[in-house]
Amino acid sequence: MSSGHSNLPPRAKTGGQSKKQPPRKKPSGVKSFFKFILVLILLAVLGVAVYAGSLYFKAENGVLDTGNNNPVPPEKAATVKPITMLLLGSDHRPESGTNLTDVMMVVSMNPDTNSATMVSLPRDTSIQLEGYKSNQKLNAFYGAFKRQEKDSGIKAEEQMKTMFSKYLDVEIDYVTVLDFQGFRDVVDALGGVSVDVQYNMCYKDSVDETDINLKAGPQELNGKQALDYVRYRKSNCSRKTKESNDFDRNARQSEVLHSLIDRMKSFGGATKAFKVLDAVDDNMTTDIEKDQVKNMIKAYFDINKQDVKFMPVTGEWRSPFVYINNEELENAKQALKDELAGKHVSESEETNADSEPKS
C-alpha cells in the first residue's frame, strides 16, 4: 500500500474539548486496518485465522460468549450468506476514559468466494450526511452516541451501524468494537508480531502515558510496541524522528495485520488460540450471535490474506477535518457491493490490470 500523502493534520482534540494542551497522541485511526487492527478482524472476521478446531471448540462449548444468544435463521448463516460488519477500534484503555473510534472499517465477506473486502475511513473525516453533524469528526460520533444512550434508548453501536450503512450505501449486519487493550493482549498472546520498522519513532506523552521509542529495522514487537508502531504520528523528543501521517499508518497497520494472520495460521498460533479468544472476549463489544460466530469460523477458517482486499479511503486535510476523496469513496462503496455479489477482485489482480497497457 502506498502512502504518498504528507499533509495530514497534527493531533487535534475532537468532540468540542476546550482545553488547549499539546496535541495528545491518541490512536490515530484512519484507514485501513486497524489502528489496532481490531483483532477482531482476526477473530470475528478473519477469525478465521485462529484455526477452526480450537475456535469452534470454544464457541461450541460456550466458552466464547458474545452475549447474543438469539438463533440465526438458516438462510442468514454466514456459511451461506455474505455479511457486512462495522469494525471500530476504540482508544479506550485502562489509562484513559475516552471512546474515540480511531479505527473505523467496514468489512464485507462472501462465503462462496472465501474472500473479504475491507474499507477504512480517516478518523478526522467530516461526513456530509443528512441528519449528522458535519462539524464533528467521524471518530467522535461513537462517544457522542454513548452519552446519548440513556435519553435516546438506542445503543451507540446501533447508531454507528445505522450511520455507516447510510454513508457507504450498504446494509451492515453487525458491529464490533475492540479497544486498544484487546489489541495489545492479542499480540502478546501470539508471542509478538514481525515487522520491518522503516525509521526511528519517538513520542512521549505523560498525560496518557504514551511512550513510543522504536528503532529502525526488522524486529519482533510485543503488544505494547505493536500498538506504538501503528499509532505513531509525530515526534516531540529532544532528537526528533521522522513524522508520519494517517495514510502512512495505514500501511503499517496493513503490515501488522498480515503478520498477525501469518502468526495465527501457524501451528504456534493455533496452540495459542484460547489465549487470543480470551483477549478478545475481555475487550470486545459485539452484536454478533454466538451461533453466527461458529458459522463464520466454519465459513472462513482457511481464508488467505491474499483474498482480503484493503481499501483505505483518503482525502484532503483542511484543518481540522479530512474531506474525503469522492471518487475513492464511490470506488469503496462499489467494492463492498461487488464483494457481496461474489465479484471479488484481489489487490494483485487490480494492480496487474492497472499496469496493463491501454489499447
Mean pLDDT of 245-272: 73
Q: Report residue 288 as a C-alpha cell.
A: 454478533
Q: What is the pLDDT of residue 62?
A: 53
Confidence band for 354, pLDDT divided at 50, 70 and 90: low
Q: Examine residue 15 and state whether it is found in any structural domain, yes or no.
A: no
Task: For 24-41, write each residue's pLDDT tens digit.
Answer: 444 333 333 333 334 444
What is residue 108's predicted lDDT score, i.e. its pLDDT?
95
Residue 32 lies in a domain: no
Residue 356 clears pLDDT 70, i.e. is over it: no
The grid coordinates listed for 3 are 502512502
Q: What is the pLDDT of residue 26?
A: 40
Q: What's the alpha-carbon Rg for the chain, to the nearest Å?
A: 19
71: three-class secondary structure by DSSP: coil
18 found inside a domain: no
**Number of structural domains in the chain:** 1
- Identify the DSSP state of 8: P
- Of the ranges 117-131, 194-208, 244-258, which one carries the lowest mean pLDDT score? 244-258
First-to-last alpha carbon distance for the chain, in angstroms, is 27
- Asked whether the predicted pLDDT for residue 239 surpasses 70, the reply is yes
- CATH number of the CATH domain containing 101: 3.40.630.190
Q: Is pLDDT above 80 for 262?
A: no
Asked if the structure places residue 98 within a domain, the reply is yes
Q: Does some domain include residue 153?
A: yes
Which residue range(s) make up the domain with 293?
A: 40-191+245-343
Q: In this predicted model, which residue has the larger pLDDT, 245 or 162?
A: 162
pLDDT in tens, 173-196: 999 888 877 888 888 988 899 999
Q: Percent of the chain, pLDDT > 70? A: 72
Contact call for residues 36 and 180 (beta carbons, < 8 A): yes
User: Does a structural domain hold residue 213?
Assistant: no
User: What is the pTM assigned to this prediction?
Assistant: 0.75
Question: Does residue 320 lie within any of the structural domains?
Answer: yes
pLDDT number for residue 171? 97
**Worst-scoring range by mean pLDDT, 54-58, 100-104, 230-234, 326-330?**
54-58
